[in-house]
Amino acid sequence: MSGKATPRAMHLLRSLEWILLTSGVILVCSYAAMRLYSFVAAHVVMAAFQQGSASLFSAHSDSDMAGGAAGINTSLWSDKRIHAYNASLSHAFGTPLALLSIPKIHLEVPVFDGTDDLTLDRGVGRIVGTAHPGQPGNLGIAGHRDGFFRGLKDVAPGDEIKLVFPDAEATYVVDQITVVTPQDVSVLQPGPISSITLVTCFPFYFVGSAPERYIVSASLRADAQPAVRGFVRPNP
């Protein structure tokens, strides 16, 4: 037998090379397209959120609101959450109950009433059965771990959390951070002073349904107590 390849074999080899080369080019182009889409989508989210934040409460200047929104790093978000946020923009939402601000992680996000999927795609939500913003008690606020609340991983005791209203602002200080099971609702029980409890799933980068809950507990700063007593919950 001759060691030389037959014309038919050479033709098959050239065809295979062409197929592999074409497949490689398609994969590279697909990857580049996905990266470009992710980049554009992230900036769309940033622009939309900045615009929404700037008009959230007319009492706040555009520059104040834009400054906080511009600091949100949506590159930490999952692609799924970015797409869900974009989809939520086509739905009408009522006036937020308040604006949640965490200066350390440059977060400003509207607080809506309820924790259904659509609400948490658009912002964060008051947990039903907990206190309303600006009223005594323990206000529970839930958010997605791969979206607005992913930055909670960098929050520490002593950090400030603010609730912003059209004509007032309340400052809370983080007391502790704990991890509990989904069944442990004791963290939402009211204490002797007004407080906020932020809740998200944990671990932050767990694949699938996360088995635990990450809890950030904060108490109203002592010098803010008199002002908060005078707050009136915004009309929906």
pLDDT digits (tens, 9 = 90+) for 113-130: 999 999 999 999 999 999
| Tokens 């008009």 belong to residue | 55
Is the Cβ–Cβ distance between 189 and 130 less than 8 Å? no
Residue 90, SS3 per DSSP: coil
Banded model confidence at residue 45, pLDDT cuts 50, 70, 90: very low
The beta-strand segments (E) located in the chain are 98-102, 107-113, 124-126, 138-142, 160-164, 169-180, 195-202, 212-220
Catalytic residue numbers, as ranges: 144, 201
pLDDT at 68 (0 to 100): 30
- Render pLDDT for 52-87 as a digit per residue (tens, 0 to 9): 444 445 433 333 333 333 335 677 899 999 899 989
Residue carrying structure tokens 């080369």: 21
